[in-house]
Amino acid sequence: QQKVQQSPESLIVPEGGMASLNCTSSDRNVDYFWWYRQHSGKSPKMLMSIFSNGEKEEGRFTVHLNKASLHTSLHIRDSQPSDSALYLCAASPNTGKLTFGDGTVLTVKP
Amino acid sequence: EAAVTQSPRNKVTVTGGNVTLSCRQTNSHNYMYWYRQDTGHGLRLIHYSYGAGNLQIGDVPDGYKATRTTQEDFFLLLELASPSQTSLYFCASSDEGSLYEQYFGPGTRLTVL
């Protein structure tokens, strides 16, 4: 069964700091990676997706993908208290079935 | 934005009880999913479907049945509920056209006493 491992389990960064989250899949058939964000008491919402090797930037958020190692990372610069949430990584072999990791809890301290 | 609704939002039942959770999406998406989320875990896939009448087994299907009656409606059935099924349940939908980005409903909190 495909596994998606995320690290760290939890992370505390100061306001204005950089947060770095990691995710690795054990399934060599995986093609697509997503990052979802879930604020406390809310449902998950897609934050960023990446399907090709390299880097993708959207505002303060940057995601990297290395397909050879099946590793993706999410970097949040100038972190804000509103970024405090559970960040979920998901992977899929280009089918409708996604596998989610257990998540990283990010806390941004004012 | 994609719309997925779930009912009920909260449900309390007793061990051995019957529970049906409902999900409706109005986005014309082909795929619909049921997940459970427990403290310390991400989202674990129970069942999913890629169209009316279709059902695919997910990663944690034991104790659950599901039925997709129309493109819009997907139901999760717990016929003999157990305390281990106490959890937060999310429904989601997606489509090949949006590269399987999943849109989630607000969740149903189920407590089995």
pLDDT in tens, A44-100: 999 999 999 999 999 999 999 999 999 999 999 999 999 999 999 999 987 889 999
Mean pLDDT in residue range B51-79: 96
How many Å apart are CA B16 and CA B6, to the nearest integer?
A: 23
pLDDT band at B40 (very low <50, low <70, confident <90, very high): confident
Q: Which of A97, A102, A104 to mutate to test the interface with B (most CBs of B within 10 A)?
A: A97
Set of chain A residues whose Cβ sits within 8 Å of the Cβ of B44: 100
Residues paired with residue A57 on neighbouring β-strands, in sequence order: A62
Decide if A19 contacts A82 (C-beta within 8 A): no
How many Å apart are CA A47 and CA A38, to the nearest integer?
A: 10
DSSP state of B54: -
Structure confidence at residue A109 (pLDDT)? 97
User: What is the DSSP pairing of strand A99-100 with strand B73-78?
Assistant: unpaired
| CB pair distance less than 8 Å for A43 and B41 | no
| CB pair distance less than 8 Å for A44 and B90 | yes
The length of chain A is 110
| A70–chain B nearest CA distance, Å | 19
Cα angle B70-B76-B82, degrees, rounded to a multiple of 5: 170
**By the CB < 8 Å criterion, does A105 face chain B?**
no
Tokens coding B14 = 């007793």
**Would you say the C-alpha torsion A10, B45, B112, B110 has a positive or negative sign?**
positive
What is the separation of C-alpha B29 from the centre of its chain, rounded to a whole number of angstroms? 15
Q: What is the mean pLDDT of chain B?
A: 95
pLDDT band at B1 (very low <50, low <70, confident <90, very high): low
Measure the CA dihedral A70/A83/B100/B24, to 10°. 150
Decide if B58 contacts B49 (C-beta within 8 A): no
| CB pair distance less than 8 Å for B100 and A96 | yes
Decide if B11 contacts B110 (C-beta within 8 A): yes
Write the residue in A92, A97, A102 that is nearest to B42 by C-beta: A102
| A15–chain B nearest CA distance, Å | 25
Tokens coding B69 = 């009656």
**By the CB < 8 Å criterion, does B96 face chain A?**
yes
